[in-house]
Chains A and B, each alone.
Chain A
Amino acid sequence: DAGVTQSPTHLIKTRGQQVTLRCSPKSGHDTVSWYQQALGQGPQFIFQYYEEEERQRGNFPDRFSGHQFPNYSSELNVNALLLGDSALYLCASSNYRDRVITEAFFGQGTRLTVV
């Protein structure tokens, strides 16, 4: 049973560029959440997707957007990259029906470096 998988594992981009990160949820999960973890900090919640719609959003600018596909996989897009966007981006999956009584499972993350 594959867990949460993220791609790519590492990425280097230039300021002003756009980037897309991908996440496949754990088998049986239908909800994907994205987090940003800056160096030396705890993860910060970006947003959550269920039924191909953004359900919750943290305090992140509109440059951060996402998408969920019918197979429950998800993409995180960041436009107009800033140096401060350099971070580990974590994806977490869960089952929406059980979300009150259970927890999310995290992937290994994508390390984004903006130069």
Chain B
Amino acid sequence: AQSVTQPDIHITVSEGASLELRCNYSYGATPYLFWYVQSPGQGLQLLLKYFSGDTLVQGIKGFEAEFKRSQSSFNLRKPSVHWSDAAEYFCAVGPYSGGGADGLTFGKGTHLIIQP
């Protein structure tokens, strides 16, 4: 069965510093990969997605992620974080049989704290 691991439950970063959130997946084929962000009490907002092609994908709010097949990873990065980036971040993978809009498997999330 497919799975997603986000090894860091909490990460604390100073405002203006760079950020990298880790995501590893287990999947038997070329995966559909996503990063979502969730603010407290809110739904999920898509930051970026990888379906195929260029392994470095750009998203909204200055985020980017790199797909590394050899490492089964899809890490999220941002060069300089802002206090408004404090939120919960989820990595997700699409199903074997379907596409990007079918039932996703999510990781448990990484809680990002921004220090002033």
Q: A residues near B, CB below 8 A?
A: 4, 31, 33, 40-45, 47-48, 56, 58, 90, 92, 94-96, 98-109, 111
Contacts and interface: CB of A to CB of B under 8 A. Distances in A.
Contacts, number: 73
Contacts of A43: 44, 90, 104, 106
Interface of B: 4, 34, 36, 41-46, 49, 51, 90, 92, 95, 98-109
B59 to A, nearest CB: 12
A58 B103 contact: yes
B93 to A, nearest CB: 11
A101 B99 CA distance: 7
Nearest to B111: A40
B42 A94 contact: no
22 contacts: A4-B43, A41-B109, A42-B107, A43-B90, A43-B104, A43-B106, A48-B102, A48-B103, A56-B102, A92-B44, A92-B101, A94-B101, A98-B101, A99-B99, A99-B102, A100-B99, A102-B101, A103-B34, A103-B46, A104-B101, A105-B46, A106-B43
Chief secondary structure at chain B's binding surface: loop
Contact of B103 (A40, A42, A45, A106): A45
A51 B79 CA distance: 44
A43 B43 CA distance: 10
Given A99-B101, A100-B100, A102-B100, A42 B108 contact: yes
Contacts of B43: 4, 90, 106-109
Contacts of B44: 43, 90, 92, 106
A53 to B, nearest CB: 14
B11 to A, nearest CB: 15
